[in-house]
Amino acid sequence: MTLLAVKNLTVAFPTRTGVFEAVRGVSFTVGKERLGIVGESGSGKSMTGRAILRLIRPPGRIIADGITLAGEDLLTMTERQMRKVRGQRISMVMQDPKFSLNPVMTIGEQMTEAYALHDHQGNANARARATEMLERVLIRDPERVMRAYPHELSGGMGQRVMIAMMLIPNPEILIADEPTSALDVSVQTQVLQIMDRLVHEQGMGLIFISHDLNLVASFCDRVLIMYAGRIVETLRADALHDAEHPYTKGLLNSLPRLDAPAERLEVLTRDPAWHAAPSVEGNG
Amino acid sequence: MNALAIEHLDVWFADGADRVDAVKDASFSVEAGGSFGLVGESGSGKSTILKAITGLVPTWSGRIAVNGTDLGAKRDRQFYSTVQMVFQDPYASLHPRHSVDQMLTETLSLHRIPDANTRIPQLLADVGLGPSFRFRYPHQLSGGQRQRVAIARALASNPSILLLDEPTSALDVSVQAEILNLLNDLRSANNLTFLMVSHNLAVVSHMCSRVAVMQDGAIVEVMTVEDMRALNPSHDYTRHLLNAALGYRPEGAPPPT
């Protein structure tokens, strides 16, 4: 079942040297699955995630034939209607907790603020729920973390707090933009398991934006590979290592591998033709 | 001879009730021309060891010796021309309002190396940047180019030991490959000794020949890369790290054998 459908999405920014298109005509759908979007910095993967929530600031523009969430077009909604979608129906976990947490509020205040906004059920209840979510993302001492300010937490802790906060309202879609790149491997596994469970048990759709090909190959169901604002290839995640596009292959080969020692790492050479090639449809 | 010898190193922050023991009784050594990796999760103390070596943390005890000479509380100029460090985030480690030329000129004058005008283009060439990069500012450089400038700055004093603190974790994988290749080339060309901190076991296995695994400030195991590649750890925590590095496993799935 399709939860979210994106049709012919373009994100454009006017610059002194003409209009720059960060995303160029991308179409894909998300069901109750783990959809990975992989690419390097500048490939447009984060912009795609932000555009779904209409988080592109003017003069940047979002142009699309439609971004539909369960049949409703997000593009025609008013700002007021959009605020109900953001956080409640589609949540987003950003890359860096340093910039997404409010530095002058305690974690507890921030988490309960979000919950109070969504559920209107009183403070004690909100605190209990926030503590519970912190426990679910495997924070050992949630009471202490609730009293802490963001600068008192490590990067990994901050990111787990962000994920806990985003999961509080039980969203239909979670857009996770490099959610685990600041985390340690063992915590990463645990956080991924939490998201995995939400997809399986609550039928949440997950858009997992990442640059880590191996992680996406082992975690997601389906993968879109983006290059220069377009989708160059779409694959089942378990078939990622059989990728055919030279860009995908180049990325895979440039990774050092634990199981296969190499004297030198392969360096990706970019073909200008990749830039001009049309976008591939990413429908599930 | 060992380029670096660390014995019973303790590093702590603050005192009294707030005291945090960041490194506990760490010992290892790196032979001249060798490459040694420190792996572990955040907070395990791996970067703190680098900071203690460079003198960025004054509160340590134990023995740190560079080329056979014990270090005291202060570091002299000789130390800094022997030991240099490359930091994790090239977006944070370069002065945003200094051009590449200013940065390298300042570094060279601090090391009292004359003739910056010929040395700078040479340094840039060593890290694979053309002379056109000399008068650029950091915002005019990509992440990989910035890290190359940071490496050029570290090489300015002709050091024999480079401390690398997650040098590629802020970079794209294709750029990571370029930087790791560059570091390996520089190591063999200049006979450098590397002490590299990383959380990425694949990167460490590519770069280093021996690896110390750290947990909660203590070194739990020192192993060769061959043992690591063969997934043959002797400590449970190392096994846990190796399993996690092999990719995501759903809950309850058996570990790979």
| pTM, two decimal places | 0.83
Mean pLDDT in residue range A105-126: 80
Using CA atoms, how far apart are residues B141 and B121, in angstroms rounded to an integer? 17
Chain A residues with CB under 8 Å of B246 CB are: 258
Say yes or no to pLDDT of A169 above 70: yes
Average of per-residue pLDDT values in chain A: 87
Tell me whether A176 touches chain B (CB under 8 Å).
Answer: no
Structure tokens at A274: 């990749």
pLDDT band at B254 (very low <50, low <70, confident <90, very high): low
Q: Where does the pLDDT of residue B255 fall: very low under 50, low under 70, confident under 90, or very high at 90 and above?
A: low
Residue A138 has pLDDT above 80, yes or no: no
pLDDT of residue B252: 66
**Cβ of A255 and B43 within 8 Å?**
no
Confidence of residue B256 (pLDDT cuts 50, 70, 90): low
Which one has a higher pLDDT value, A142 or B83? Answer: B83
How do residues A221-258 score in pLDDT, each as one tens digit? 999 999 999 999 999 988 888 888 999 998 888 888 88
Q: Closest-CA residue in chain B for A218?
A: B248
Name chain A contacts of B247, Cβ cutoff 8 Å: 214-215, 217-219
Calpha distance B79→B160 (Å, rounded): 10
Å between A131 CA and nearest CA of chain B? 23
Concatenating the DSSP letter of every residue in A128-153 gives HHHHHHHHHTT-S-HHHHHH--GGGS
Residue-wise pLDDT for B137-171, tens only, equals 999 998 889 999 999 999 999 999 999 999 988 88
Q: What is the pLDDT of residues B189-233, one digit of tens each?
A: 999 999 999 988 899 999 999 999 999 999 999 999 999 988 889
**CA of A77 to nearest chain B CA: how many angstroms apart?**
36
Q: What angle do CA B137, B138, B139 make, to 5 degrees?
A: 95
Contact A184 B240 (CB under 8 A): no
Tell me the nearest-neighbour CA distance from B40 into chain A, angstroms. Answer: 8
A221 interface with B at CB cutoff 8 Å:
no
Is the CB of residue A206 less than 8 Å away from at least one CB of chain B?
no
Pick B143 or B104 by higher pLDDT.
B104
Alpha-carbon span A221 to A208, nearest angstrom: 10
Q: Do A213 and B173 touch (CB under 8 A)?
A: yes
pLDDT of residue A264: 87
Evaluate if residue B257 carries a pLDDT over 70: no
Select, from the ranges B55-59, B161-165, B167-171, B236-240, the one with the highest average predicted confidence (pLDDT).
B161-165
Rounded Cα distance between B44 and A248, Å, is: 34
pLDDT of residue B110: 92
Of the candidates A206, A183, A187, the residue with the CA atom closest to the CA atom of residue A196: A206
From B239, which residue of chain A is nearest by alpha-carbon distance?
A186
Q: Is the pLDDT of residue B4 over 90?
A: yes
Distance CA A47, CA A35 (A): 16
Query: What is the rounded distance in angstroms from the CA atom of residue A136 to the CA atom of residue A190?
Result: 9
Confidence of residue A196 (pLDDT cuts 50, 70, 90): confident
pLDDT band with cut points at 50, 70 and 90 for residue B59: very high
Q: Residue A219: its chain B contacts at CB < 8 A?
A: 247-248
A211: closest CA of chain B, how far (Å): 7
Q: B247–A217: do the CB atoms touch at under 8 Å? A: yes
Q: Which of A187, A258, A266 sits opposite B229 (nearest CB)?
A: A258
Nearest-Cα residue of chain A relative to residue B252: A193
Lowest mean pLDDT among A277-281, B113-117, B145-149: A277-281
- Find which of A132-141, A257-266, B179-188 is predicted with most confidence, using mean pLDDT: B179-188
3-62 of A, contacting B, C-beta below 8 A: 40-41
pLDDT for residue A216 is more than 80: yes
The closest of A195, A207, A205 to A31, measured between CA atoms, is A205
Q: Does residue A130 surpass a pLDDT of 80?
A: yes
Exposed e or buried b per residue across B33-63, where buried means at least 16 C-beta atoms within 10 angstroms of its C-beta: ebbbbbbbbbbbbbbbbbbbbbbebeebeee
CA-nearest residue to B230 within chain A is: A259
Task: Pick A158 or A7 by higher pLDDT.
Answer: A7
Tens-digit pLDDT profile for residues A40-97? 888 899 899 999 999 998 999 999 999 999 989 999 999 999 988 987 899 888 877 7
Q: Is A142 a residue whose pLDDT tops 90?
A: no
Residue B253's pLDDT is 66
Q: Among residues of chain A, what percentage have pLDDT more than 70? A: 98
- Over the range B156-168, which residues count as b (16 or more CB within 10 Å of their CB) and which as e? bbebbbbbbbbbb
Query: Angle at the Cα of B141 (from A255 to A92), degrees rounded to 5?
Result: 65
- Quick one: closest CA in B to A189, which residue? B248
Tracing tokens 């060593």 back to the chain, one arrives at B126
pLDDT level of residue B8 (50, 70, 90 thresholds): very high
CB-nearest partner of B203 from A217, A218, A256: A256
Judging contacts by C-beta atoms under 8 Å, the chain A residues touching residue B228 are 258
Q: Sheet harboring A205-210: ordered strands across?
A: A90-93, A173-177, A205-210, A34-38, A222-227, A230-236
- Residue B177 with chain A: CB contacts under 8 Å: 254-256, 265-268
Instruction: Please count the residue pairs, one from chain A and one from chain B, whose beta carbons lie less than 8 angstroms apart.
Output: 91
Complex ipTM, two decimals? 0.80
